[in-house]
Structure 1
Amino acid sequence: MLDDSNEPWPPRDRAQLRRLNTNLLYALDALLHSPSLTAAAHSIALSQPALSAKLRQLRDHFGDELVVYGDKRRLTALGEALLHRVGRVLREVDDTFNLTLDFDPATAEREITITAPEAIELMFVSRIIPDIRAAAPNIRINMAPFSHGSVQKLFDAGADVAIVPDVMADPSLCRQPLFEHSLSALVSRRHPMAGRKISEAEYLAARHAALSDEMEKALFGDYGPNDPRARRHIVARTSLNSMLPLLAVGSDLVVTTSGWFAQYNAAILPLTVVDLDFARPTSALIAQWQPYRSREPVIQWLVAELTRGVGKVSYRHPEIG
């Protein structure tokens, strides 16, 4: 048996493990995620009295109420702490009992889950999905929601591979660098700044559209109060990368984003990329996966497809220009 470090457990530690009723884990997961006891019972095909009995067992085991039902259902502090952990354990149990080292992309039938910042989905992942599907026609591809912060939480939510900015990468996880990108700006083709470099003073004097702080950090990480992005005059914000360039179309607004994403949108919208004539960060995008899965052929294949895809992605979309 291995822990997160992939080191074998000593026999004495293995002997001290308490025997686990896996059905209790499924019950706990349902109770922590469902809005009511009835809904939890329904989600795992149990009667409400049967699930109530399992809830009593779980409360006895943990010495905690875990979930409190009343006018408003709430989780205890321990219940909150267990919320994502239990899901991760169940996925690892499922991975263990369904693990096969026989993987042929041409015939495999399974789902793979990738998570990436929305801009990376739009201008990178969208370009390589056709190649993945051509190589593995029976594989189902699921793009999971991305959140800035802990990479491990992305895996807790079910990701097989996560594409993250290097500033967010977890050193305890496996990694494969994909590509680098730097900041660029987008403006309308009729904007006075179109077609030239803009200085920091001009950048700060302009009006800007921007992503939410969370979305910007997902691409380039945190930035300090002296960074020009922190001092710009933002008049419009959006939580969608796909919406951001549209805010610059036909307006006087400046949009700051990944150079790759800027070029992608300038090819399909009436926008122009302008260079920023001041220091700006460069960020690498990293593919990460969990060490215990590093020998799985499906993970090795998926990472190889992502790596190959970097060389195939051009700024101009082959179908839409």
Structure 2
Amino acid sequence: MRFRGLDLNLLGVFEGLMQTRSVSGAARQMNLSQPAMSAALSRLRDYFGDQLLVTHGKRMYPTAFAESLAPQVRECLATIESMLATSASFDPLTSQRRFRLIASDYVVAAIIAPLLERLAEQAPGVTIQLISPDDHSSQLIVDGKADVMIAPEQFMSTDHPSELLFEEEHVVVGWSGNGLFEQPIDEAGFLSAGHVAVAIGSRSNAAFADRHLAILGKVRRIEVSASSFTTVPWLLIGTPRLAVMHKRLAQAAARMFPIASAPLPFDFPLMREMVQFHHTRAQDEGLKWLRSRLRDMAYDQKI
């Protein structure tokens, strides 16, 4: 299909080349032969009157024009994908749609796992692809490679709509055999205990709780730093360690692990967990349905 003389299939080729910076890599990604990919790049160069990618050593580098074109092409492809995925109506009982969700293991354990139990009956043909958050999660929304991202408010992009999914409290958790839980935990006992902290992503970003404890000046003795929320219970059992955990996750974990929880011995801010989606999908009936189900489950899981 052509638009103003441009074969629209070449937009996908351009995106593949910009991602891989390699003719052979883009060819493998798009299941094309290397000669076919080279020919497609040549057609792109002719159309735009620019080299787009130039070879230096063993790598290809985009020109300034290609860099300026890239976000427009991504936006165009995301809009097309949204158009193809969207219909005037959405019937969960008959839909075969696949939704791609960016969510932490905390959200998966506390909200998505119990939701999937319901969807087994309410939407038997719908599938969910879970994507772990990282430093590039927002870009997956921009590129149309994820449908929604669930994360604390500070991780939301201002370029796309987001809405409150739920507010979350934090509690102190520890092994149920930990003597500290035999009476209310005070601040001195909390700070003197060894702790498990959580650092997320390749840059070991502090989680919401750890970041706000630092802001409040609550200096703990960190004995273990975990890379995920759901590993924390394993690191508490049989030890005097404590951790600060989302209340919904603590509730879910207590059904499977011998852990106890107690209120934090000082005021602590609520975490606002948001859901974000591409602005071209604001009227997507399927995503409206999914966001509604997520909100319902978050409300039902509230302690």
TM range (shorter): 0.7 to 0.9
Look up the equivalent residue of 1:272 and give its one-letter code. Answer: A
Q: In structure 1, the residue corresponding to 2:115 is in which secondary structure? A: helix
Between the aligned partners of 2:299 and 2:258, the Cα distance in structure 1 is 26
Q: In structure 1, the residue corresponding to 2:180 is in which secondary structure? A: coil
The match for 2:130 is 143
The match for 2:156 is 169
Return the TM-score normalized by structure 2: 0.82
Between the aligned partners of 1:80 and 1:191, the Cα distance in structure 2 is 56
The match for 2:18 is 32
Give the drift of 1:147.
Answer: 2.8
The match for 2:7 is 21
From the superposition, tell whether residues 80 and 266 of structure 1 become closer, same or farther in structure 2 (CA, over 3 Å): farther
Aligned mate of 1:307, from 280, 295, 298: 295
Look up the equivalent residue of 1:162 and give its one-letter code. Answer: M
Look up the equivalent residue of 1:54 and give its one-letter code. Answer: A
Correspondence 1:233-252 to 2 at 5 A: 233-252=221-240
Aligned mate of 1:280, from 262, 268, 275: 268
Do residues 207 (structure 1) and 207 (structure 2) align?
no
The match for 1:99 is 86
From the superposition, tell whether residues 101 and 69 of structure 1 become closer, same or farther in structure 2 (CA, over 3 Å): farther
Between the aligned partners of 1:40 and 1:26, the Cα distance in structure 2 is 10
How far does the alpha carbon of each residue in 1:195-238 deviate from its partner, in whole angstroms, 9 at most, with x for none? Answer: 33333333222211111155775555954744346x22212112
Return the TM-score normalized by structure 1: 0.78
Any stretches of 5+ residues in structure 2 without a counterpart?
none
Aligned mate of 2:171, from 158, 164, 184: 184
Give the drift of 1:183.
Answer: 1.8
Between the aligned partners of 1:24 and 1:235, the Cα distance in structure 2 is 53
Q: In structure 2, the residue corresponding to 1:198 is in which secondary structure? A: coil
Q: In structure 1, the residue corresponding to 2:24 is in which secondary structure? A: helix
Give the drift of 1:119.
Answer: 0.3
Are the aligned partners of 1:195 and 1:273 in contact in 2 as well (CA < 8 Å)?
no
- Report the aligned-residue RMSD: 3.2
The match for 1:53 is 39
Give the drift of 1:251.
Answer: 1.4
Any stretches of 5+ residues in structure 1 without a counterpart?
1-16, 316-321
From the superposition, tell whether residues 224 and 207 of structure 1 become closer, same or farther in structure 2 (CA, over 3 Å): closer
Between the aligned partners of 1:67 and 1:282, the Cα distance in structure 2 is 50
From the superposition, tell whether residues 292 and 150 of structure 1 become closer, same or farther in structure 2 (CA, over 3 Å): same
The match for 1:108 is 95
The match for 1:269 is 257
Q: In structure 1, the residue corresponding to 2:299 is in which secondary structure? A: helix
Q: In structure 2, the residue corresponding to 1:104 is in which secondary structure? A: coil
Between the aligned partners of 1:67 and 1:269, the Cα distance in structure 2 is 56
The match for 1:7 is none
Aligned residues, how many? 297
Aligned mate of 2:278, from 290, 308, 311: 290
- More displaced, 40-49 or 22-31? 40-49
From the superposition, tell whether residues 197 and 149 of structure 1 become closer, same or farther in structure 2 (CA, over 3 Å): farther
- More displaced, 141-150 or 297-306? 141-150
The match for 1:119 is 106
Between the aligned partners of 1:293 and 1:34, the Cα distance in structure 2 is 27
Between the aligned partners of 1:312 and 1:254, the Cα distance in structure 2 is 27
Give the drift of 1:279.
Answer: 2.1
Identical-pair percentage? 25
